Amino acid sequence: MGKSLEGNLEGDDPNRYVSVYLPPGYSREPNRRYPVIYFLHGFTDDDAGWYGLHKNWIDLPAIVNQALARGESREMILVTPNAYTRFAGSMYSDSVDTGDWMDYVARDLVRYVDSHYRTIPQPAARGLAGHSMGGYGALRIAMERPGVFSSVYLLSPCCLMPGARPRLTPELLAKVQAIHTDAEFQGTDFYTKVIFASAAAWSPDPKAPPFFLDLPTGDERERAMVAAKWAANAPLAMIDQYIASLRRLHAIAFDGGTEDPLSASLKILDQTLAAYGIPHGYEIYPGTHTSGIAVRIETKMLPFFSKNLSFGEAGGK
């Protein structure tokens, strides 16, 4: 299933685990078809952690079942691929180091799900959502792979603006420069891992073993080049070139917490979409980068897709 990930220099298995939630009616009504929400997890997470299998901080199936019981959601299939990689997260970007993750989600995964489950195989019945790194991926895939998904919901997305990543202080720089093996990487802190994952996704280097990436640790010219490559992968830096793709979407919404520094980028996204006359939903709520996500999924994301996805073969809502 992971043809787009074959040959990645990280050495990650291109055949990814995928968690799938099937609604209660799926087994009872064998002729019924369903819309699909493709939900992308965040950095250092995996699909299993969102489906109650381990390190469970959010149990997505339980949230969906609760929303159904409360009448806040219609029945939909949910699909989450495992994007945990050698450097703890793919950034859902295309790179010789990580593999072509945008193609994997928008092409390989969608084709597999449509051929193995009773989906409504139309863009109008496909939603794309994600938290943090997954929110970044959802927006970028919607922009750069148009015509696959119709509605997008971003939960506390990261990495939208150039420079919206850990500041490379002397202390962080020293930690990055001290990593020479996979074991040392696994034992380091979150922000050091972010630097490596960002480099693998946005400044790969096939001639730089053992990690095959360029870190922002060289001389002034080398650091500037890495910074430029990272900035070129920030959605808000490229959004003006993808307005036509965003106009094709049926619905867009995003939210973030008041105590999350990353929420500043959402205000700019809101202003940019408004300037182009693109309808969207935008909300800042009391909370941090991770607090309240379960509630937001239940009371905001699921009703959003219930309203905006197609639930009929003919494309009706």
**Residue among 33, 184, 197, 4 at smallest CA distance from 104:** 4
Q: CA 74, CA 306: separation in Å to the nearest integer?
A: 5
Q: CA 299, CA 290: separation in Å to the nearest integer?
A: 16
Rounded to 5, what percent of the chain is helix, strand, coil? Answer: 40, 15, 45
Per-residue pLDDT averaged across 220-235, rounded?
Answer: 93
Domains parsed from the chain with CATH numbers: 3-163+238-308 (3.40.50.1820), 170-232 (no CATH)
pLDDT at res. 57: 76
Give the tens place of pLDDT for each residue, 267-302: 999 999 999 999 999 999 999 999 999 999 999 999
Distances (CA, A) of 9 to 13, 201, 211, 264: 11, 11, 8, 34
pLDDT at res. 317: 46
pLDDT at res. 167: 76
Give the tens place of pLDDT for each residue, 150-179: 999 999 999 999 875 677 888 988 999 999
pLDDT at res. 314: 41
The angle subtended at Cα 126 by Cα 125 and Cα 127, nearest 5°, is: 125
User: What's the alpha-carbon Rg for the chain, to the nearest Å?
Assistant: 19
Does pLDDT of 313 surpass 60? Answer: no
Per-residue pLDDT averaged across 27-44, rounded?
Answer: 96
The pTM is what?
Answer: 0.95
Does pLDDT of 315 surpass 70? Answer: no
- Confidence class for position 55, pLDDT limits 50, 70, 90: low
Cβ-contact 145, 246 below 8 angstroms? no
What is the three-class DSSP state of 186? helix
Least confident stretch, 3-12, 264-273, 308-317: 308-317
What is the three-class DSSP state of 72? coil
Per-residue pLDDT averaged across 32-44, rounded?
Answer: 97
**Residue among 249, 301, 289, 28 at smallest CA distance from 159:** 289
Does pLDDT of 81 surpass 90? Answer: yes
- Please report which residue ranges of the chain form alpha helices under DSSP H: 25-28, 47-50, 60-69, 101-103, 110-116, 133-144, 170-177, 182-186, 190-202, 220-232, 235-238, 243-248, 263-275, 293-296, 302-308
